[in-house]
Amino acid sequence: MKGKTKRRWLVGAVAPLAIAGLILTGCTGGGSATPDDTSAASDATLRVNFGQFPENWSPGQEMEGGPLRIPYETLLARGDDGSIQPWLATEWELTEDSLTLTLRDDVTFQDGEPFNAEAVKTNVELVRDGATAYSGPLQAIESVDVVDDYTVRLNLTGPNPSLPTTLTSRVLPIGSPAAIADGSIAQSPVGTSPWAYDEDASVIGTRMVFSNYADYWGEQPGFANVELYAITEPEAQAAALVAGEIDITDTEYEVFPRFEGTSIETVEYPAIRNNLFFFDRGPGGVFESVDLRQSICTAIDVDQMSEVQGEGESATQHFAEGEVGYNPDIEGYPTDPAAAEELYAAAGSPTVNVEMVSAPYNNRQISIFAEQIAQTLPEVSITVTQLPPPEYNSTWNSGRYPLGLSSNEEQTPFEWYEAWFSADAPGNPSGIESPELAAAADAAIAAGDSEEAAGLWAEVTKIISDEALTCAHWRGPELLAWNSDTVSGVDAPNEPWEPKSVNYRELTPAS
Protein backbone atom coordinates (compact mmCIF):
# COMPACT_ATOMS: atom_id res chain seq x y z
CA MET A 1 0.00 0.00 0.00
CA LYS A 2 1.58 3.24 -1.10
CA GLY A 3 2.52 5.55 1.77
CA LYS A 4 0.18 3.70 4.10
CA THR A 5 -0.37 5.50 7.41
CA LYS A 6 -1.08 2.84 10.03
CA ARG A 7 -1.08 4.23 13.54
CA ARG A 8 -1.70 2.44 16.79
CA TRP A 9 -4.67 4.04 18.50
CA LEU A 10 -4.26 4.69 22.19
CA VAL A 11 -7.31 5.48 24.27
CA GLY A 12 -5.23 7.43 26.77
CA ALA A 13 -4.12 9.83 24.07
CA VAL A 14 -7.52 11.52 24.00
CA ALA A 15 -8.12 11.53 27.74
CA PRO A 16 -6.87 15.06 28.49
CA LEU A 17 -9.45 16.51 26.10
CA ALA A 18 -12.39 15.76 28.36
CA ILE A 19 -10.53 17.12 31.35
CA ALA A 20 -9.69 20.33 29.54
CA GLY A 21 -13.33 20.82 28.69
CA LEU A 22 -14.46 20.15 32.25
CA ILE A 23 -12.41 22.85 33.96
CA LEU A 24 -13.39 25.88 31.93
CA THR A 25 -15.57 27.45 34.61
CA GLY A 26 -15.36 31.23 34.58
CA CYS A 27 -13.02 31.56 31.61
CA THR A 28 -13.12 33.67 28.49
CA GLY A 29 -12.22 32.18 25.12
CA GLY A 30 -9.12 33.31 23.34
CA GLY A 31 -7.31 32.62 20.13
CA SER A 32 -8.31 32.94 16.53
CA ALA A 33 -11.94 32.38 15.63
CA THR A 34 -11.27 31.94 11.93
CA PRO A 35 -10.22 28.87 9.97
CA ASP A 36 -6.68 28.44 8.69
CA ASP A 37 -5.69 31.04 6.12
CA THR A 38 -6.36 29.05 2.97
CA SER A 39 -8.25 29.88 -0.18
CA ALA A 40 -10.73 27.56 -1.84
CA ALA A 41 -9.29 25.84 -4.86
CA SER A 42 -11.33 26.88 -7.87
CA ASP A 43 -14.19 24.42 -8.27
CA ALA A 44 -12.30 21.65 -6.42
CA THR A 45 -14.76 19.02 -5.20
CA LEU A 46 -14.19 16.54 -2.37
CA ARG A 47 -16.11 13.30 -2.81
CA VAL A 48 -16.61 11.71 0.59
CA ASN A 49 -18.47 8.59 1.68
CA PHE A 50 -19.63 7.86 5.21
CA GLY A 51 -21.97 4.93 4.61
CA GLN A 52 -25.35 6.57 5.06
CA PHE A 53 -27.24 9.84 4.82
CA PRO A 54 -28.84 11.23 7.97
CA GLU A 55 -32.54 10.43 8.10
CA ASN A 56 -33.17 13.87 9.59
CA TRP A 57 -30.80 16.85 9.26
CA SER A 58 -32.51 18.93 11.94
CA PRO A 59 -30.22 20.03 14.83
CA GLY A 60 -30.32 17.55 17.67
CA GLN A 61 -31.20 14.55 15.53
CA GLU A 62 -28.97 11.49 15.37
CA MET A 63 -26.27 11.91 12.71
CA GLU A 64 -22.59 11.18 12.48
CA GLY A 65 -20.06 13.99 12.72
CA GLY A 66 -18.86 13.43 9.16
CA PRO A 67 -22.11 14.43 7.44
CA LEU A 68 -23.11 16.95 10.12
CA ARG A 69 -19.95 19.03 9.86
CA ILE A 70 -20.39 19.66 6.14
CA PRO A 71 -23.30 22.16 6.36
CA TYR A 72 -23.19 22.98 10.06
CA GLU A 73 -20.89 24.72 12.53
CA THR A 74 -20.91 24.87 16.33
CA LEU A 75 -20.67 27.74 18.78
CA LEU A 76 -17.29 26.53 20.07
CA ALA A 77 -14.73 24.23 18.49
CA ARG A 78 -11.78 21.98 19.28
CA GLY A 79 -8.28 23.20 18.61
CA ASP A 80 -5.52 20.95 17.33
CA ASP A 81 -4.35 20.48 20.92
CA GLY A 82 -7.83 19.57 22.15
CA SER A 83 -8.46 22.93 23.79
CA ILE A 84 -11.80 24.68 23.39
CA GLN A 85 -11.64 27.56 20.95
CA PRO A 86 -14.00 30.30 19.71
CA TRP A 87 -15.98 29.66 16.55
CA LEU A 88 -19.45 31.12 16.04
CA ALA A 89 -19.03 32.46 19.57
CA THR A 90 -15.97 34.64 20.07
CA GLU A 91 -15.99 34.74 23.87
CA TRP A 92 -17.72 32.91 26.69
CA GLU A 93 -18.02 33.18 30.44
CA LEU A 94 -19.19 30.26 32.56
CA THR A 95 -20.38 30.70 36.14
CA GLU A 96 -22.37 28.45 38.46
CA ASP A 97 -25.59 30.05 37.20
CA SER A 98 -25.08 30.72 33.50
CA LEU A 99 -23.00 30.53 30.36
CA THR A 100 -22.83 33.86 28.53
CA LEU A 101 -21.69 33.79 24.90
CA THR A 102 -20.57 36.69 22.73
CA LEU A 103 -21.38 35.87 19.10
CA ARG A 104 -19.80 36.81 15.80
CA ASP A 105 -21.59 39.72 14.14
CA ASP A 106 -20.58 38.92 10.55
CA VAL A 107 -22.26 35.55 9.99
CA THR A 108 -25.25 34.69 7.82
CA PHE A 109 -26.92 31.37 7.28
CA GLN A 110 -26.75 29.81 3.84
CA ASP A 111 -30.36 30.93 3.18
CA GLY A 112 -29.45 34.56 3.93
CA GLU A 113 -30.94 34.60 7.44
CA PRO A 114 -28.85 36.45 10.04
CA PHE A 115 -26.96 34.56 12.71
CA ASN A 116 -27.60 36.21 16.08
CA ALA A 117 -28.68 35.58 19.66
CA GLU A 118 -32.25 34.82 18.61
CA ALA A 119 -30.95 32.12 16.27
CA VAL A 120 -28.99 30.51 19.10
CA LYS A 121 -32.05 30.63 21.36
CA THR A 122 -34.13 28.92 18.66
CA ASN A 123 -31.59 26.12 18.26
CA VAL A 124 -31.10 25.54 21.98
CA GLU A 125 -34.83 25.33 22.61
CA LEU A 126 -35.37 23.07 19.58
CA VAL A 127 -32.80 20.52 20.74
CA ARG A 128 -33.62 20.76 24.45
CA ASP A 129 -37.40 20.60 24.20
CA GLY A 130 -37.95 18.42 21.14
CA ALA A 131 -37.83 14.69 20.56
CA THR A 132 -34.12 14.81 19.79
CA ALA A 133 -31.21 12.47 20.38
CA TYR A 134 -29.27 15.13 22.27
CA SER A 135 -31.87 16.76 24.47
CA GLY A 136 -30.34 15.22 27.60
CA PRO A 137 -27.17 17.34 27.84
CA LEU A 138 -29.21 20.52 27.34
CA GLN A 139 -31.70 19.81 30.12
CA ALA A 140 -29.32 21.72 32.39
CA ILE A 141 -30.27 24.91 30.51
CA GLU A 142 -33.29 26.30 32.36
CA SER A 143 -33.88 29.26 30.04
CA VAL A 144 -32.23 31.33 27.31
CA ASP A 145 -31.95 35.12 27.48
CA VAL A 146 -31.26 37.28 24.44
CA VAL A 147 -29.14 39.97 26.10
CA ASP A 148 -28.65 41.85 22.82
CA ASP A 149 -28.30 40.95 19.15
CA TYR A 150 -24.96 39.24 19.64
CA THR A 151 -25.00 38.21 23.29
CA VAL A 152 -26.91 35.21 24.60
CA ARG A 153 -27.10 33.91 28.16
CA LEU A 154 -27.88 30.28 28.93
CA ASN A 155 -29.33 30.16 32.44
CA LEU A 156 -28.49 26.90 34.18
CA THR A 157 -30.39 24.71 36.62
CA GLY A 158 -27.13 24.24 38.52
CA PRO A 159 -23.37 24.17 38.01
CA ASN A 160 -22.44 22.60 34.68
CA PRO A 161 -18.69 22.71 34.07
CA SER A 162 -18.95 20.52 30.97
CA LEU A 163 -21.25 22.79 28.95
CA PRO A 164 -18.47 24.43 26.87
CA THR A 165 -17.30 20.94 25.94
CA THR A 166 -20.85 20.06 24.93
CA LEU A 167 -21.01 23.05 22.61
CA THR A 168 -18.05 21.74 20.58
CA SER A 169 -19.82 18.47 19.86
CA ARG A 170 -22.69 17.14 17.77
CA VAL A 171 -25.18 18.13 20.46
CA LEU A 172 -25.85 21.63 19.10
CA PRO A 173 -25.12 22.32 15.42
CA ILE A 174 -26.55 25.72 14.56
CA GLY A 175 -29.27 25.72 11.91
CA SER A 176 -31.27 28.46 10.21
CA PRO A 177 -34.30 29.56 12.28
CA ALA A 178 -36.32 30.01 9.08
CA ALA A 179 -35.63 26.45 7.95
CA ILE A 180 -36.39 25.20 11.45
CA ALA A 181 -39.68 27.12 11.52
CA ASP A 182 -40.99 25.70 8.25
CA GLY A 183 -39.62 22.21 8.87
CA SER A 184 -37.57 22.08 5.68
CA ILE A 185 -34.33 21.67 7.61
CA ALA A 186 -35.16 18.00 8.23
CA GLN A 187 -34.36 17.16 4.61
CA SER A 188 -32.49 20.27 3.45
CA PRO A 189 -29.85 21.32 5.99
CA VAL A 190 -29.11 25.04 6.29
CA GLY A 191 -26.19 26.09 8.45
CA THR A 192 -23.35 28.62 8.47
CA SER A 193 -20.49 26.58 6.99
CA PRO A 194 -18.67 27.22 3.68
CA TRP A 195 -20.72 24.43 2.04
CA ALA A 196 -24.41 24.99 1.30
CA TYR A 197 -26.71 22.13 0.35
CA ASP A 198 -27.53 22.17 -3.37
CA GLU A 199 -30.81 20.30 -3.76
CA ASP A 200 -30.97 20.75 -7.53
CA ALA A 201 -27.57 19.14 -8.09
CA SER A 202 -28.24 16.29 -5.66
CA VAL A 203 -29.68 12.87 -6.46
CA ILE A 204 -32.04 11.54 -3.79
CA GLY A 205 -30.63 8.44 -2.14
CA THR A 206 -27.39 8.56 -4.14
CA ARG A 207 -25.48 11.82 -3.78
CA MET A 208 -25.85 15.01 -1.77
CA VAL A 209 -24.05 18.03 -3.19
CA PHE A 210 -22.83 20.91 -1.03
CA SER A 211 -21.62 23.87 -3.07
CA ASN A 212 -19.37 26.74 -2.10
CA TYR A 213 -21.16 29.38 -0.02
CA ALA A 214 -19.63 32.61 -1.29
CA ASP A 215 -20.78 34.70 1.68
CA TYR A 216 -19.10 32.50 4.26
CA TRP A 217 -17.81 34.56 7.18
CA GLY A 218 -14.35 32.96 7.37
CA GLU A 219 -11.54 31.94 5.07
CA GLN A 220 -12.61 29.52 2.38
CA PRO A 221 -11.40 25.90 2.75
CA GLY A 222 -9.24 23.97 0.31
CA PHE A 223 -12.19 22.26 -1.35
CA ALA A 224 -14.87 24.57 -2.71
CA ASN A 225 -17.50 21.82 -2.89
CA VAL A 226 -18.28 18.57 -1.11
CA GLU A 227 -20.23 15.62 -2.48
CA LEU A 228 -21.56 13.17 0.12
CA TYR A 229 -22.21 9.53 -0.81
CA ALA A 230 -23.86 6.69 1.13
CA ILE A 231 -22.11 3.50 0.00
CA THR A 232 -22.70 1.01 2.81
CA GLU A 233 -20.83 -2.19 2.00
CA PRO A 234 -17.05 -2.17 2.71
CA GLU A 235 -16.22 -3.97 -0.55
CA ALA A 236 -18.23 -1.45 -2.55
CA GLN A 237 -16.61 1.44 -0.66
CA ALA A 238 -13.13 0.10 -1.40
CA ALA A 239 -13.95 -0.50 -5.07
CA ALA A 240 -15.24 3.04 -5.50
CA LEU A 241 -12.16 4.48 -3.82
CA VAL A 242 -9.70 2.47 -5.91
CA ALA A 243 -11.64 3.31 -9.09
CA GLY A 244 -11.38 7.03 -8.34
CA GLU A 245 -15.13 7.50 -7.90
CA ILE A 246 -14.70 8.88 -4.36
CA ASP A 247 -11.77 10.50 -2.55
CA ILE A 248 -12.23 9.42 1.06
CA THR A 249 -14.36 6.89 2.94
CA ASP A 250 -14.73 5.07 6.20
CA THR A 251 -13.58 1.50 5.73
CA GLU A 252 -12.89 -1.89 7.35
CA TYR A 253 -9.75 -3.97 7.91
CA GLU A 254 -11.13 -6.76 5.73
CA VAL A 255 -10.74 -4.69 2.56
CA PHE A 256 -7.18 -3.46 3.20
CA PRO A 257 -5.72 -6.00 0.73
CA ARG A 258 -7.57 -4.12 -2.02
CA PHE A 259 -5.40 -1.08 -1.34
CA GLU A 260 -2.02 -2.81 -1.77
CA GLY A 261 0.00 -1.27 -4.59
CA THR A 262 -2.40 1.67 -5.00
CA SER A 263 -2.32 5.31 -3.96
CA ILE A 264 -4.79 4.60 -1.13
CA GLU A 265 -3.64 5.48 2.39
CA THR A 266 -5.32 4.74 5.70
CA VAL A 267 -5.50 6.09 9.23
CA GLU A 268 -7.21 4.82 12.37
CA TYR A 269 -8.16 6.59 15.57
CA PRO A 270 -10.16 5.77 18.74
CA ALA A 271 -13.73 6.70 17.93
CA ILE A 272 -16.31 4.21 19.12
CA ARG A 273 -17.49 3.47 22.64
CA ASN A 274 -20.53 1.24 22.93
CA ASN A 275 -22.17 -0.83 25.63
CA LEU A 276 -25.33 -2.70 26.56
CA PHE A 277 -28.20 -0.75 28.18
CA PHE A 278 -31.11 -2.21 30.14
CA PHE A 279 -34.12 0.00 29.41
CA ASP A 280 -37.06 -1.92 30.88
CA ARG A 281 -35.96 -1.79 34.50
CA GLY A 282 -38.96 -0.14 36.15
CA PRO A 283 -41.39 -1.88 38.53
CA GLY A 284 -42.50 -5.12 36.90
CA GLY A 285 -40.04 -4.61 34.04
CA VAL A 286 -38.18 -7.47 32.44
CA PHE A 287 -34.89 -6.20 33.88
CA GLU A 288 -36.11 -4.77 37.18
CA SER A 289 -33.84 -7.18 39.08
CA VAL A 290 -30.27 -6.03 39.64
CA ASP A 291 -29.28 -9.69 40.01
CA LEU A 292 -30.69 -10.48 36.56
CA ARG A 293 -28.87 -7.55 34.98
CA GLN A 294 -25.62 -8.54 36.66
CA SER A 295 -26.14 -12.16 35.58
CA ILE A 296 -26.46 -11.16 31.92
CA CYS A 297 -23.46 -8.85 32.14
CA THR A 298 -21.34 -11.65 33.61
CA ALA A 299 -22.38 -14.05 30.84
CA ILE A 300 -21.02 -11.76 28.09
CA ASP A 301 -17.46 -12.17 26.81
CA VAL A 302 -16.45 -8.89 25.12
CA ASP A 303 -12.90 -10.09 24.44
CA GLN A 304 -14.18 -13.09 22.52
CA MET A 305 -16.41 -10.82 20.46
CA SER A 306 -13.44 -8.55 19.70
CA GLU A 307 -11.43 -11.55 18.50
CA VAL A 308 -14.23 -12.58 16.16
CA GLN A 309 -14.60 -9.05 14.79
CA GLY A 310 -10.84 -8.62 14.50
CA GLU A 311 -10.77 -5.19 16.12
CA GLY A 312 -11.43 -3.26 19.30
CA GLU A 313 -10.96 -4.06 22.95
CA SER A 314 -13.02 -4.57 26.08
CA ALA A 315 -13.21 -2.01 28.86
CA THR A 316 -14.49 -2.00 32.41
CA GLN A 317 -16.32 1.32 32.00
CA HIS A 318 -17.28 4.11 29.61
CA PHE A 319 -14.52 6.57 30.51
CA ALA A 320 -10.86 5.95 29.79
CA GLU A 321 -8.10 6.37 32.34
CA GLY A 322 -7.27 10.07 32.61
CA GLU A 323 -10.79 11.23 31.77
CA VAL A 324 -13.05 12.71 34.42
CA GLY A 325 -15.49 9.95 35.34
CA TYR A 326 -12.96 7.14 35.23
CA ASN A 327 -12.93 5.09 38.45
CA PRO A 328 -10.07 2.61 39.00
CA ASP A 329 -12.24 0.67 41.47
CA ILE A 330 -14.70 -0.34 38.76
CA GLU A 331 -13.97 -3.94 37.85
CA GLY A 332 -16.84 -4.27 35.43
CA TYR A 333 -18.22 -7.75 34.87
CA PRO A 334 -15.48 -10.23 33.95
CA THR A 335 -16.89 -13.23 32.11
CA ASP A 336 -17.77 -15.94 34.65
CA PRO A 337 -20.44 -18.50 33.67
CA ALA A 338 -20.67 -19.97 37.18
CA ALA A 339 -21.18 -16.53 38.75
CA ALA A 340 -23.72 -15.70 36.04
CA GLU A 341 -25.72 -18.83 36.92
CA GLU A 342 -25.64 -17.96 40.64
CA LEU A 343 -26.86 -14.44 40.02
CA TYR A 344 -29.58 -15.78 37.72
CA ALA A 345 -30.77 -18.11 40.48
CA ALA A 346 -30.75 -15.21 42.95
CA ALA A 347 -32.99 -13.31 40.51
CA GLY A 348 -35.53 -16.16 40.70
CA SER A 349 -34.50 -17.94 37.49
CA PRO A 350 -37.01 -16.10 35.30
CA THR A 351 -37.77 -17.10 31.73
CA VAL A 352 -36.88 -14.16 29.52
CA ASN A 353 -37.89 -13.77 25.89
CA VAL A 354 -37.10 -10.33 24.48
CA GLU A 355 -36.34 -8.65 21.17
CA MET A 356 -33.30 -6.48 20.56
CA VAL A 357 -32.63 -4.54 17.38
CA SER A 358 -29.38 -4.07 15.50
CA ALA A 359 -28.05 -2.24 12.45
CA PRO A 360 -25.72 -3.60 9.76
CA TYR A 361 -22.71 -2.10 11.50
CA ASN A 362 -23.32 -3.72 14.91
CA ASN A 363 -25.40 -6.79 14.07
CA ARG A 364 -22.49 -9.17 14.47
CA GLN A 365 -21.55 -7.77 17.87
CA ILE A 366 -25.11 -7.89 19.20
CA SER A 367 -25.71 -11.38 17.79
CA ILE A 368 -22.55 -12.69 19.45
CA PHE A 369 -23.63 -11.25 22.79
CA ALA A 370 -27.09 -12.82 22.44
CA GLU A 371 -25.52 -16.22 21.68
CA GLN A 372 -23.15 -15.95 24.64
CA ILE A 373 -26.01 -15.15 26.99
CA ALA A 374 -28.09 -18.08 25.71
CA GLN A 375 -25.18 -20.50 26.13
CA THR A 376 -24.75 -19.64 29.80
CA LEU A 377 -28.39 -18.80 30.61
CA PRO A 378 -30.59 -21.03 28.40
CA GLU A 379 -33.81 -19.52 29.74
CA VAL A 380 -32.79 -16.05 28.58
CA SER A 381 -33.62 -15.73 24.88
CA ILE A 382 -32.77 -12.55 22.95
CA THR A 383 -34.08 -12.34 19.39
CA VAL A 384 -31.95 -9.97 17.31
CA THR A 385 -33.78 -8.11 14.54
CA GLN A 386 -31.66 -6.15 12.06
CA LEU A 387 -33.12 -2.83 10.90
CA PRO A 388 -31.98 -0.27 8.32
CA PRO A 389 -29.77 2.36 10.00
CA PRO A 390 -32.35 5.19 9.95
CA GLU A 391 -35.02 3.04 11.60
CA TYR A 392 -32.53 1.57 14.06
CA ASN A 393 -31.22 4.99 15.08
CA SER A 394 -34.70 6.26 15.88
CA THR A 395 -35.97 3.23 17.79
CA TRP A 396 -33.23 1.24 19.53
CA ASN A 397 -33.37 3.33 22.73
CA SER A 398 -36.94 4.60 22.44
CA GLY A 399 -38.38 2.20 25.01
CA ARG A 400 -39.93 -0.08 22.39
CA TYR A 401 -37.27 -2.67 23.19
CA PRO A 402 -36.25 -3.71 26.73
CA LEU A 403 -32.52 -3.56 26.04
CA GLY A 404 -30.22 -2.15 23.41
CA LEU A 405 -26.67 -1.48 22.33
CA SER A 406 -25.15 1.38 20.41
CA SER A 407 -22.43 3.98 20.54
CA ASN A 408 -22.59 6.70 23.16
CA GLU A 409 -20.12 9.48 22.58
CA GLU A 410 -20.65 11.59 25.70
CA GLN A 411 -17.32 13.13 26.66
CA THR A 412 -18.03 14.07 30.28
CA PRO A 413 -19.76 12.20 33.12
CA PHE A 414 -22.33 14.97 33.45
CA GLU A 415 -23.39 14.45 29.82
CA TRP A 416 -23.34 10.66 30.18
CA TYR A 417 -25.47 10.71 33.31
CA GLU A 418 -27.97 13.21 31.89
CA ALA A 419 -28.25 11.31 28.61
CA TRP A 420 -28.81 7.79 29.97
CA PHE A 421 -29.30 7.41 33.70
CA SER A 422 -31.06 10.33 35.37
CA ALA A 423 -34.78 9.85 35.97
CA ASP A 424 -35.68 12.15 33.08
CA ALA A 425 -32.84 11.15 30.72
CA PRO A 426 -33.90 10.59 27.09
CA GLY A 427 -32.05 7.26 27.19
CA ASN A 428 -33.88 6.11 30.31
CA PRO A 429 -37.43 5.37 29.10
CA SER A 430 -38.22 3.58 32.39
CA GLY A 431 -37.87 6.88 34.28
CA ILE A 432 -36.31 4.93 37.15
CA GLU A 433 -33.29 6.17 39.09
CA SER A 434 -32.17 4.84 42.45
CA PRO A 435 -31.97 7.26 45.40
CA GLU A 436 -28.26 6.43 45.73
CA LEU A 437 -27.50 7.40 42.14
CA ALA A 438 -29.59 10.57 42.32
CA ALA A 439 -27.88 11.71 45.52
CA ALA A 440 -24.39 11.00 44.16
CA ALA A 441 -25.14 12.88 40.92
CA ASP A 442 -26.60 15.84 42.79
CA ALA A 443 -23.43 16.09 44.86
CA ALA A 444 -21.19 15.87 41.79
CA ILE A 445 -23.17 18.51 39.93
CA ALA A 446 -23.13 20.85 42.92
CA ALA A 447 -19.34 20.51 43.13
CA GLY A 448 -18.94 22.31 39.79
CA ASP A 449 -15.25 22.43 38.88
CA SER A 450 -13.94 22.15 42.42
CA GLU A 451 -11.16 19.77 43.39
CA GLU A 452 -13.76 17.37 44.75
CA ALA A 453 -15.76 17.14 41.53
CA ALA A 454 -13.70 14.46 39.78
CA GLY A 455 -13.90 12.14 42.79
CA LEU A 456 -17.64 12.67 43.09
CA TRP A 457 -18.21 11.88 39.43
CA ALA A 458 -16.15 8.72 39.86
CA GLU A 459 -18.61 7.71 42.58
CA VAL A 460 -21.48 8.27 40.15
CA THR A 461 -19.96 6.01 37.50
CA LYS A 462 -19.25 3.37 40.17
CA ILE A 463 -22.92 3.28 41.18
CA ILE A 464 -23.97 3.00 37.53
CA SER A 465 -21.67 0.01 37.20
CA ASP A 466 -22.68 -1.62 40.49
CA GLU A 467 -26.36 -1.36 39.58
CA ALA A 468 -25.58 -2.91 36.17
CA LEU A 469 -27.49 -0.20 34.35
CA THR A 470 -25.03 -0.77 31.55
CA CYS A 471 -22.17 -3.17 30.86
CA ALA A 472 -20.26 -4.97 28.07
CA HIS A 473 -18.16 -1.89 27.31
CA TRP A 474 -16.27 -2.03 24.03
CA ARG A 475 -13.96 0.45 22.37
CA GLY A 476 -13.18 0.40 18.71
CA PRO A 477 -11.29 2.39 16.09
CA GLU A 478 -12.56 4.34 13.14
CA LEU A 479 -10.74 3.55 9.91
CA LEU A 480 -10.47 6.10 7.13
CA ALA A 481 -9.06 5.47 3.65
CA TRP A 482 -8.31 8.10 1.04
CA ASN A 483 -6.75 8.54 -2.36
CA SER A 484 -3.46 10.37 -1.84
CA ASP A 485 -3.41 11.32 -5.52
CA THR A 486 -6.48 13.51 -5.08
CA VAL A 487 -6.56 14.70 -1.45
CA SER A 488 -4.02 15.54 1.24
CA GLY A 489 -4.21 16.55 4.90
CA VAL A 490 -6.33 13.64 6.09
CA ASP A 491 -6.02 12.86 9.79
CA ALA A 492 -8.19 12.06 12.77
CA PRO A 493 -10.71 14.78 13.62
CA ASN A 494 -10.06 17.13 16.50
CA GLU A 495 -13.32 16.08 18.15
CA PRO A 496 -12.63 13.09 20.46
CA TRP A 497 -14.61 9.86 20.16
CA GLU A 498 -16.33 10.97 16.96
CA PRO A 499 -16.75 8.16 14.39
CA LYS A 500 -17.09 8.68 10.66
CA SER A 501 -15.54 12.11 10.63
CA VAL A 502 -12.59 14.08 9.32
CA ASN A 503 -11.34 17.64 9.64
CA TYR A 504 -12.65 18.93 6.32
CA ARG A 505 -10.96 22.33 6.64
CA GLU A 506 -7.51 20.74 6.78
CA LEU A 507 -8.03 18.92 3.48
CA THR A 508 -6.60 20.25 0.24
CA PRO A 509 -6.43 18.87 -3.32
CA ALA A 510 -3.26 16.82 -3.69
CA SER A 511 -2.54 18.39 -7.05
Cβ neighbourhood burial of 331 (10 Å; 0-12, 13-18, 19+): exposed
User: What is this structure's pTM?
Assistant: 0.82
pLDDT of amino acid 132: 86
pLDDT of amino acid 41: 64
In a domain, 436, yes or no: yes
Worst-scoring range by mean pLDDT, 127-136, 249-258, 399-408, 423-432? Answer: 127-136
Q: CA-to-CA distance for 234 and 51, rounded, in angstroms? A: 9
Q: CA-to-CA distance for 55 and 200, rounded, in angstroms? A: 19
Task: Mark residue 273 as left, alpha or beta (left: phi above 0; alpha: psi -120 to 50; beta: remaining).
Answer: beta
- CA 419 → CA 34, 342, 379, distances in Å? 32, 32, 31
Tens of pLDDT, residue by residue over 213-258, are 999 999 999 999 999 999 999 999 999 999 999 999 999 999 999 9
In a domain, 205, yes or no: no
In a domain, 374, yes or no: yes
**Terminal CA-to-CA distance of the chain, rounded, Å?**
20
| The 3-state secondary structure of 348-380, one letter per residue | CCCCEEEEEEECCCCHHHHHHHHHHHHHHCCCE
pLDDT of amino acid 218: 96
pLDDT of amino acid 21: 36
Worst-scoring range by mean pLDDT, 44-48, 62-66, 441-445? Answer: 62-66
In a domain, 380, yes or no: yes
Q: What is the CATH number of the domain that holds 319?
A: 3.10.105.10
For residue 356, the enclosing domain spans: 272-476
User: Is residue 26 predicted with pLDDT exceeding 90?
Assistant: no
In a domain, 134, yes or no: no
Tens of pLDDT, residue by residue over 316-362, are 999 999 999 999 999 999 999 999 999 999 999 999 999 999 998 89
In a domain, 224, yes or no: no
Count CB neighbours of 80 within 10 A. Answer: 10
Closest residue by Cα to residue 24 from 74, 87, 99? 99
pLDDT of amino acid 6: 33
29-31-37 Cα angle (round to 5): 140
User: Is residue 33 predicted with pLDDT exceeding 60?
Assistant: no
In a domain, 265, yes or no: no
| The 3-state secondary structure of 402-442, one letter per residue | CEEEEECCCCCHHHHHHHHCCCCCCCCCCCCCCHHHHHHHH
For the segment 157-173, the average pLDDT, to the nearest whole number, is 91
Beta carbons of 302 and 316 less than 8 angstroms apart: no
Pick the residue with more confidence: 190 or 409? 190
pLDDT of amino acid 10: 34
pLDDT of amino acid 39: 58
Tens of pLDDT, residue by residue over 366-418, are 999 999 999 999 999 999 999 998 789 889 999 999 999 998 888 899 989 98
In a domain, 255, yes or no: no
Cβ neighbours for 465, distance < 8 A, ≥ 6 positions apart: 316, 317, 327, 330, 332, 471
Domain count, the chain: 1
Q: CA-to-CA distance for 243 and 223, rounded, in angstroms? A: 20
pLDDT of amino acid 31: 38
Strand partners, 98: 155
